[in-house]
Protein backbone atom coordinates (compact mmCIF):
# COMPACT_ATOMS: atom_id res chain seq x y z
CA UNK A 1 0.00 0.00 0.00
CA UNK A 2 1.32 3.47 -0.84
CA UNK A 3 1.28 6.34 1.63
CA UNK A 4 -1.17 8.32 -0.50
CA UNK A 5 -4.20 6.58 1.01
CA UNK A 6 -3.49 7.43 4.69
CA UNK A 7 -2.90 11.12 3.95
CA UNK A 8 -5.87 11.51 1.63
CA UNK A 9 -8.11 9.58 4.03
CA UNK A 10 -7.68 12.25 6.72
CA UNK A 11 -10.56 14.66 7.16
CA UNK A 12 -9.91 18.20 5.89
CA UNK A 13 -9.55 20.81 8.62
CA UNK A 14 -11.03 24.28 8.25
CA UNK A 15 -8.70 27.24 8.79
CA UNK A 16 -9.08 29.88 11.47
CA UNK A 17 -9.08 32.61 8.85
CA UNK A 18 -8.21 33.24 5.22
CA UNK A 19 -6.59 36.00 3.20
CA UNK A 20 -7.33 36.77 -0.44
CA UNK A 21 -4.31 38.17 -2.28
CA UNK A 22 -5.92 38.51 -5.72
CA UNK A 23 -9.23 38.18 -7.58
CA UNK A 24 -8.76 34.61 -8.85
CA UNK A 25 -10.43 31.89 -6.72
CA UNK A 26 -7.04 30.21 -6.24
CA UNK A 27 -5.39 33.35 -4.86
CA UNK A 28 -6.00 32.61 -1.19
CA UNK A 29 -4.00 31.76 1.92
CA UNK A 30 -5.51 29.84 4.85
CA UNK A 31 -4.15 30.31 8.38
CA UNK A 32 -3.83 27.74 11.14
CA UNK A 33 -2.61 28.58 14.63
CA UNK A 34 -3.45 31.06 17.35
CA UNK A 35 -1.47 34.12 16.30
CA UNK A 36 -2.62 36.71 13.81
CA UNK A 37 -0.37 37.52 10.89
CA UNK A 38 3.13 38.92 11.37
CA UNK A 39 2.69 39.32 15.13
CA UNK A 40 3.75 35.69 15.47
CA UNK A 41 7.18 34.93 16.88
CA UNK A 42 9.59 34.69 13.97
CA UNK A 43 10.51 31.10 14.75
CA UNK A 44 6.90 29.96 14.41
CA UNK A 45 5.91 31.25 10.95
CA UNK A 46 5.51 28.60 8.27
CA UNK A 47 4.30 29.06 4.73
CA UNK A 48 3.21 25.78 3.13
CA UNK A 49 3.12 25.16 -0.64
CA UNK A 50 1.31 22.03 -1.79
CA UNK A 51 2.22 19.77 -4.70
CA UNK A 52 0.34 18.06 -7.50
CA UNK A 53 2.70 18.66 -10.40
CA UNK A 54 1.43 22.26 -10.71
CA UNK A 55 -1.93 21.05 -12.08
CA UNK A 56 -5.31 22.60 -11.41
CA UNK A 57 -6.93 19.33 -10.34
CA UNK A 58 -4.74 19.15 -7.23
CA UNK A 59 -5.34 21.73 -4.52
CA UNK A 60 -4.30 22.44 -0.93
CA UNK A 61 -7.06 20.47 0.79
CA UNK A 62 -4.99 17.31 1.40
CA UNK A 63 -2.46 19.32 3.43
CA UNK A 64 -5.00 20.86 5.81
CA UNK A 65 -4.51 18.07 8.40
CA UNK A 66 -0.76 18.70 8.31
CA UNK A 67 -1.26 22.44 8.73
CA UNK A 68 -3.58 21.83 11.67
CA UNK A 69 -1.18 19.38 13.30
CA UNK A 70 1.74 21.80 12.97
CA UNK A 71 -0.42 24.53 14.50
CA UNK A 72 -1.13 22.27 17.48
CA UNK A 73 2.63 21.94 17.88
CA UNK A 74 3.07 25.69 18.25
CA UNK A 75 3.61 26.90 14.70
CA UNK A 76 1.47 29.45 12.91
CA UNK A 77 0.85 28.19 9.41
CA UNK A 78 -0.08 29.89 6.15
CA UNK A 79 -1.32 27.21 3.75
CA UNK A 80 -1.20 28.80 0.31
CA UNK A 81 -3.18 28.19 -2.83
CA UNK A 82 -1.96 29.47 -6.19
CA UNK A 83 -2.99 29.40 -9.83
CA UNK A 84 -2.01 26.14 -11.51
CA UNK A 85 -1.66 24.81 -15.04
CA UNK A 86 -5.13 24.44 -16.51
CA UNK A 87 -6.55 27.09 -14.16
CA UNK A 88 -4.83 30.34 -15.09
CA UNK A 89 -1.39 29.26 -13.91
CA UNK A 90 1.78 28.08 -15.52
CA UNK A 91 4.32 30.70 -16.60
CA UNK A 92 4.05 33.36 -15.33
CA UNK A 93 0.90 33.05 -13.17
CA UNK A 94 2.03 30.27 -10.84
CA UNK A 95 5.31 32.01 -10.09
CA UNK A 96 3.73 35.43 -9.71
CA UNK A 97 1.32 33.98 -7.16
CA UNK A 98 3.96 32.22 -5.09
CA UNK A 99 6.08 35.37 -5.01
CA UNK A 100 3.04 37.35 -3.87
CA UNK A 101 2.21 34.78 -1.17
CA UNK A 102 5.67 35.12 0.34
CA UNK A 103 5.40 38.90 0.14
CA UNK A 104 2.02 39.27 1.83
CA UNK A 105 1.32 36.16 3.92
CA UNK A 106 3.12 37.55 6.98
CA UNK A 107 2.97 41.26 6.10
CA UNK A 108 6.48 41.06 4.68
CA UNK A 109 8.00 39.38 7.72
CA UNK A 110 10.49 36.46 7.44
CA UNK A 111 9.13 32.94 7.25
CA UNK A 112 10.16 29.33 6.84
CA UNK A 113 8.89 27.60 3.71
CA UNK A 114 7.60 24.04 3.65
CA UNK A 115 7.01 22.73 0.15
CA UNK A 116 5.99 19.30 -1.09
CA UNK A 117 6.67 17.92 -4.58
CA UNK A 118 5.83 20.72 -7.05
CA UNK A 119 5.45 22.94 -3.99
CA UNK A 120 8.99 22.01 -3.01
CA UNK A 121 10.16 23.21 -6.41
CA UNK A 122 8.29 26.48 -5.90
CA UNK A 123 9.71 26.90 -2.41
CA UNK A 124 13.27 26.53 -3.69
CA UNK A 125 12.56 28.93 -6.53
CA UNK A 126 11.00 31.66 -4.39
CA UNK A 127 13.71 31.36 -1.72
CA UNK A 128 16.21 32.34 -4.40
CA UNK A 129 13.84 34.95 -5.84
CA UNK A 130 13.04 36.73 -2.54
CA UNK A 131 15.80 35.90 -0.04
CA UNK A 132 14.98 38.68 2.43
CA UNK A 133 11.66 37.06 3.38
CA UNK A 134 12.77 33.41 3.49
CA UNK A 135 14.72 32.18 6.50
CA UNK A 136 14.79 28.51 5.56
CA UNK A 137 13.28 25.86 3.30
CA UNK A 138 12.15 22.32 4.02
CA UNK A 139 11.47 20.68 0.67
CA UNK A 140 9.80 17.26 0.71
CA UNK A 141 10.32 15.27 -2.51
CA UNK A 142 10.76 18.47 -4.53
CA UNK A 143 10.69 18.53 -8.32
CA UNK A 144 13.92 20.47 -8.02
CA UNK A 145 15.32 19.79 -11.49
CA UNK A 146 12.87 20.88 -14.18
CA UNK A 147 15.26 20.01 -16.98
CA UNK A 148 15.44 16.42 -15.75
CA UNK A 149 11.68 16.31 -15.14
CA UNK A 150 11.07 17.52 -18.67
CA UNK A 151 13.48 15.07 -20.28
CA UNK A 152 12.10 12.15 -18.26
CA UNK A 153 8.51 13.31 -18.87
CA UNK A 154 7.67 12.93 -15.20
CA UNK A 155 3.91 12.74 -14.61
CA UNK A 156 3.23 12.59 -18.35
CA UNK A 157 4.99 15.82 -19.19
CA UNK A 158 3.87 18.02 -16.31
CA UNK A 159 6.88 20.33 -16.69
CA UNK A 160 5.80 21.16 -20.24
CA UNK A 161 2.33 22.01 -18.95
CA UNK A 162 3.93 24.39 -16.45
CA UNK A 163 6.45 26.02 -18.79
CA UNK A 164 4.78 25.52 -22.15
CA UNK A 165 6.20 22.96 -24.60
CA UNK A 166 8.69 25.51 -25.94
CA UNK A 167 9.15 27.45 -22.71
CA UNK A 168 12.62 28.15 -21.36
CA UNK A 169 13.22 26.57 -17.95
CA UNK A 170 16.30 28.65 -17.10
CA UNK A 171 14.56 31.26 -14.95
CA UNK A 172 12.38 28.75 -13.11
CA UNK A 173 14.61 25.70 -12.56
CA UNK A 174 16.21 25.61 -9.09
CA UNK A 175 19.08 23.44 -10.30
CA UNK A 176 20.02 26.11 -12.86
CA UNK A 177 19.75 29.07 -10.46
CA UNK A 178 22.16 30.12 -7.71
CA UNK A 179 21.33 28.31 -4.46
CA UNK A 180 19.15 30.14 -1.92
CA UNK A 181 21.02 32.04 0.75
CA UNK A 182 18.72 30.46 3.36
CA UNK A 183 19.43 26.96 4.66
CA UNK A 184 17.72 24.14 2.77
CA UNK A 185 16.78 20.70 4.05
CA UNK A 186 15.44 18.15 1.55
CA UNK A 187 13.55 15.04 2.66
CA UNK A 188 13.05 12.35 0.03
CA UNK A 189 11.86 8.76 0.35
CA UNK A 190 13.85 6.01 -1.30
CA UNK A 191 10.62 4.39 -2.57
CA UNK A 192 9.07 7.54 -4.06
CA UNK A 193 7.31 6.55 -7.28
CA UNK A 194 5.98 10.06 -8.03
CA UNK A 195 9.21 12.08 -7.91
CA UNK A 196 12.31 9.89 -8.23
CA UNK A 197 14.95 10.29 -5.52
CA UNK A 198 17.42 11.02 -8.32
CA UNK A 199 15.85 14.47 -8.71
CA UNK A 200 16.85 15.52 -5.19
CA UNK A 201 20.25 13.90 -5.52
CA UNK A 202 20.90 15.94 -8.65
CA UNK A 203 19.84 19.17 -6.95
CA UNK A 204 21.92 18.54 -3.84
CA UNK A 205 24.97 17.68 -5.93
CA UNK A 206 24.62 20.87 -7.95
CA UNK A 207 23.33 23.38 -5.41
CA UNK A 208 23.97 21.96 -1.95
CA UNK A 209 21.60 21.91 0.96
CA UNK A 210 21.11 18.96 3.31
CA UNK A 211 19.56 15.91 1.65
CA UNK A 212 18.09 13.30 3.98
CA UNK A 213 17.11 10.12 2.23
CA UNK A 214 14.33 8.28 4.03
CA UNK A 215 14.62 4.49 3.63
CA UNK A 216 11.36 2.84 2.64
CA UNK A 217 9.39 6.09 2.49
CA UNK A 218 7.14 6.95 -0.42
CA UNK A 219 5.89 10.29 -1.70
CA UNK A 220 3.43 11.35 1.00
CA UNK A 221 4.86 9.67 4.10
CA UNK A 222 6.81 12.61 5.59
CA UNK A 223 3.66 14.77 5.40
CA UNK A 224 1.30 12.26 6.98
CA UNK A 225 0.82 12.81 10.73
CA UNK A 226 1.45 9.56 12.57
CA UNK A 227 3.55 7.98 9.81
CA UNK A 228 6.97 6.49 10.48
CA UNK A 229 8.69 9.36 8.68
CA UNK A 230 6.59 12.29 9.94
CA UNK A 231 9.09 12.85 12.80
CA UNK A 232 11.71 13.57 10.14
CA UNK A 233 9.62 16.52 8.99
CA UNK A 234 9.19 17.79 12.55
CA UNK A 235 12.92 17.53 13.17
CA UNK A 236 13.80 19.43 10.00
CA UNK A 237 11.34 22.22 10.80
CA UNK A 238 12.57 22.50 14.37
CA UNK A 239 16.17 22.72 13.24
CA UNK A 240 15.48 25.58 10.84
CA UNK A 241 12.98 27.55 12.89
CA UNK A 242 14.77 27.24 16.23
CA UNK A 243 18.35 27.60 15.08
CA UNK A 244 17.73 30.42 12.62
CA UNK A 245 14.91 32.12 14.49
CA UNK A 246 12.85 32.53 11.34
Per-residue pLDDT reduced to its tens digit, 32-87: 997 555 545 656 899 999 999 999 999 999 999 999 999 999 999 999 999 999 99
Asked whether residue 44 is assigned to any structural domain, the reply reads: yes
Classified as helix, coil or strand, 71 is: helix
The closest of 238, 244, 188 to 217, measured between CA atoms, is 188
Structural domain for 135, as ranges? 4-10+19-239
As for how many domains the chain has, the answer is 1
Rounded Cα distance, 78 and 80, in Å: 6
Profile the chain (246 residues) by mean pLDDT over runs of 10 residues: 69 95 98 68 85 97 97 96 97 98 95 98 98 97 97 96 93 96 97 96 97 96 94 96 59
pLDDT on residue 111: 96
Which CATH number do you get for residue 122?
3.40.50.1820
Instruction: Determine if residue 66 is left, alpha or beta; phi over 0 gives left, psi from -120 to 50 gives alpha, anything else beta.
Output: alpha
Asked whether residue 130 is assigned to any structural domain, the reply reads: yes
Asked whether residue 245 is assigned to any structural domain, the reply reads: no
Amino acid sequence: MTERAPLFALEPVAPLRSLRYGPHPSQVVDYYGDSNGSEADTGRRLTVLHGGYWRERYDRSHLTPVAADLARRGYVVALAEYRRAGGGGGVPGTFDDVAEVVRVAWDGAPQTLLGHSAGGHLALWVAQHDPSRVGGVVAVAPVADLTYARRARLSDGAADELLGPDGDAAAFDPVLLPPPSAPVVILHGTEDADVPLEVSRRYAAARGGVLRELPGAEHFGPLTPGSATYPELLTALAELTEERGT
